[in-house]
Amino acid sequence: MKLQSLYNEYLNIKFNRELPSVQADGFEYCFCEDDSTELFFVDRKNESFVEWAYELQPRDPNYTVNPDWKPVLSAFFKQLDVYDELILYYLLFTINATTSIAKKNPFNAMNDFMKNYCFFQLAQLTDAAGLNDEQRHQLRDFFFFFYLYAHPVNEETLYSFSFSGQDLIHTKTNINIEHYFSLYHDYYSENLDKHRDKLFIAPHEINACKNLTLELLKSIEGKSAKLAMPPEEGLEAVLRLINNVDDLIQIYSENKTTLFGTMRDFLSDNRSNAYRDHCFSTLLQNYVCYILYFKFDEIHDLVEYFKGTPLWCEKIINKIFTDTIFIQKLMRQNHIDIAEYKNVIEFFNEEARRIYL
């Protein structure tokens, strides 16, 4: 499975880039009646990748006083209980849903952006030599938290996983997620007849789902080649800083006005489309996550650079503070009171004032 090709197609459809469509190892995107877009099997247009295991969702033991059944994979994982099994199913669904393209509206726009952004950043971190090990670990935990949070998942699932080295594990049982997902797909492929009332795809299709799920997981764990945002005319400087975190960190450390100049050049270019806007939002959140995360007072230099063009300064500041809640999280972590940053809040629009003041 070439995840980069699939990611390109995802962005092509999500942002109406109108590039030729491509198939990805037996899958292709199709539009649904609710105006969302899902990845379907090429030869089976009534079954989507994200829903193939929908009927396999375990019974919820939280509604039973004394659950009297065992997890499907209990023979392989003795430490697994039915509560853990349900949480692991939620994780499977969350990872597979990374490929889904929901119709954007004011209620889901922030979560949609945050989940996509965090998935992309998790794929970048391993190669970020400009960060030390502690910084990489901090950001990986930060991005994975918001990747789950923005799905969204319930609170129990949100806090059930952690990293051991580059391996994602279920913290309570120490189960390796890659191992679990691999056995999960193998079990249903080998026991198809036993589950014919709930499974409607063939073994080779289950194997295709397994390959894609594991590719998505490996990207989250930073074990595969990092993803890249595809090129577009006029976005070369922005994309360079998005696709190479080290370039962003190095340029900023050597001459921060180079980064600010890239932002200025984007705003001075009147061309606008959904993909360009997404890339600019990504660049601004990179500034939040790779610069302000470690030294919040750097925001003074941003405001100083743009205060002579107040409309641009207002746009940048409000996108930084309202496109996501990343900056809220890092301010809470560092006990920062934004009211003390008078030069920043003077550029807040009504929404930002409502949230922060």
Task: Classify 8 as helix, strand or coil.
Answer: helix
Could you read off the pLDDT of 140-153 as tens digits, one per residue? 999 999 999 999 99
What single letter denotes the amino acid at residue 348? Answer: F
Sorted by sequence, the CB contacts under 8 Å of residue 53 that are 6+ apart come out as 89, 92, 93, 188, 209
CA distance 326 to 347: 19
CA distance 49 to 208: 9
pLDDT of residue 23: 65
CA nearest to 205, candidates 14, 5, 49, 16: 49
pLDDT of residue 1: 55
Query: DSSP code of 44?
Result: E
pLDDT of residue 259: 98
Residue with structure tokens 């975190």?
245
Mean of the per-residue pLDDT values of the chain: 95
Diameter over CA atoms, the chain:
70
CA nearest to 88, candidates 67, 73, 76: 73
CA distance 281 to 316: 9
Alpha helices in the chain (DSSP H): 3-14, 82-96, 109-122, 133-149, 155-158, 177-190, 203-221, 236-243, 245-254, 256-268, 274-287, 299-306, 310-322, 326-333, 342-345, 350-356
Q: How far is CA 345 from CA 267, 287, 337, 353, in A?
A: 21, 18, 11, 8
Sorted by sequence, the CB contacts under 8 Å of residue 249 that are 6+ apart come out as 128, 130, 131, 290, 291
pLDDT of residue 73: 98
The structure's pTM equals 0.96
Q: In tens digits, what is the pLDDT along the chain, a chain of 357 residues?
A: 589 999 999 999 999 998 887 767 789 999 998 889 999 998 887 889 999 999 999 999 998 888 999 999 999 999 999 999 999 999 999 999 999 999 888 899 999 999 999 999 999 998 899 999 999 999 999 999 999 999 999 999 999 999 999 999 999 999 999 999 999 999 999 999 999 899 989 999 999 999 999 999 999 999 999 999 999 999 999 999 999 999 999 999 999 999 999 999 999 998 889 999 999 999 999 999 999 999 999 999 999 999 999 999 999 999 999 999 999 999 999 999 999 999 999 999 999 999 999
pLDDT of residue 271: 85
Q: What is the CA radius of gyration of the chain?
A: 22
Token reading at 7: 């990611």
Task: Tell me: cis bond preceding 152? Omega within 30 of 0 counts.
Answer: yes
pLDDT of residue 39: 94
